[in-house]
Amino acid sequence: MDIAVLSGLIILVMLVIMLVAGMPIAVALGVSAICAILPILNFEATVVTGAQRIFSGISVFSLLAIPFFILAGNIMNKGGIAVRLINLAKLVTGRAPGALAQTNVVANMLFGSISGSGTAAASTMGSIIGPIEKEEGYDPNFSAAANIATAPTGLLIPPSNVMITFSLVSGGTSVAALFMAGYVPGFLWGLACMLVIYVLAKKKGYQSTSRFTGKEAMQVLLQAIPCLLLIVIVIGGIIFGIFTATEGSVVAVVYSLILSLFFYKSIKLKELPQLFKDSAEMTGIIIFLIGVSSIMSWVMAFTGIPTAISNGLLGLTDNKFIILLIINILLLVVGTFMDMTPACLIFTPIFLPVCTALGMNTIHFGIMMIFNLCIGTITPPVGTTLFVGVRVGNVKIETVFRQLLIYFAAIFIVLLLVTYIPQISLWLPGLMGYV
């Protein structure tokens, strides 16, 4: 049997068995990768090389951005940012049908991009806007579905930790370029969901009567500007070369601390140790995953698994559109049972060579992949954002999932547009000179 096929089967079987048994995914990745290389190398050489790959995989300067962006997101989550962004979103959506649900979408896009977490967006916005929607007669399932469907938009709209991870595993793709590339797909996702809400709300008769006066509108805008400046300062600084993505993450922490401690006064000094602890725990999980995935990447490269898969896919058909559709379907399936970070770490080395062979830009591929995996966060059985949204909305998953189907259809259309029209992702990076 060909060594690539043998090693691939070992990885697949071992991963499935260990994940079904409930083993942590980082451990499952490491063990399956080690077992896959044993038919070629002896145990001692495998273990030593594996340890070396872990350390070389995490000894990357750009990875320092991850703990700082996580910390900045946690500070923002508890720093009184959400209410101000919700008021701004209300101002933007006005009196459109289903205005409160539309507000939820805009707020998720704003808050998700600032916090870098779809789960945080779903939890925060659902717990604040959900009760208001219930008071105004909205169906809880309708409200929860709108919240869940749009929470992942913040993972596409920068800053996004998964983009930094992709940059690393893809061989050094520009983080700034990936950040720029995520804006249009993220906005299109949100707009598609807003269109769905518009149609459904008009049918159900959800019409808002509230209106801001000129003075109130100005007050809302002034209160929200400091929050929005975080995006402007961090992303603007990275794009214009004032600082790197790693330095930008530190700026985000300092700015969010100043804003929350002294400007809004929504966080007390005694709460900071717990925030640091939570951020350190999350960082440890992600960094360990990245380190272990380095073993997997080495094993795959050593045994020729990506090349074998690439040749297999290209051997099925020479039609670029069909191959990309197959990759999308595979990534959507993967996203249903695997979190974004490990999925990105495992499947980037597999599918990237295929897509580059088809002439696809690495930035374009990165956005396509992240888009697919974002959908996975709101699909069962592992969709964390889905479960958080259901819990916060106090609804049953089976009833809300029926409501989500129409959103999935709209999101899938946007995914196809992002896949087959490269300029959706590459227009902004091209404008900035990255492509």
Encode pLDDT of 301-356 as tens digits. Answer: 788 877 777 777 777 787 889 999 999 998 888 887 777 888 888 888 889 988 98
pLDDT for residue 213: 75
Which amino acid is it at 103?
Answer: T
pLDDT attached to residue 181: 94
Task: Evaluate whether residue 15 is within a structural domain.
Answer: no
pLDDT of residue 65: 78
Considering the entire predicted model, what is its pTM? 0.81
Tell me if 2 is assigned to some domain. Answer: no
pLDDT score at 22:
80
> Reduced to 3 states, what is the DSSP secondary structure of residue 207?
strand
- Asked whether residue 373 is assigned to any structural domain, the reply reads yes
Residue type, 263: F
- Quick one: tokens of 182? 């995520």
Q: For residue 21, is it within any domain?
A: no
Least Cα distance to 427 among 361, 349, 337 occurs for 361
Residues 381, 170: contact at Cβ < 8 Å? no
> From the centroid of its chain, how far is CA 214?
36
- pLDDT at position 158, please? 84
Q: Is 45 among the domain residues?
A: no
Residue 204 lies in a domain: yes
Q: In whole angstroms, how far apart are CA 48 and each of 60, 93, 260, 334, 345?
A: 20, 57, 46, 30, 21
- Bridge partner residues of 97 (DSSP): 207
Q: Report the domain count for the chain.
A: 1
pLDDT at 381: 67
pLDDT at position 415:
96
Residues in the chain predicted with pLDDT less than 50, given as ranges, are none
| Residues 202, 95 contacting (CB under 8 angstroms) | no
Sequence-ordered list of residues with C-beta below 8 angstroms from that of 411, at least 6 positions apart, any chain: 149, 189, 192, 193, 375
Residue 103 lies in a domain: yes
pLDDT at 208: 67
Q: What pLDDT is recorded for position 210?
A: 64
Q: pLDDT at position 164, please? A: 86
Non-local (6+) Cβ contacts of 135 within 8 A are none
Domain residues for the domain of 144 are 61-431
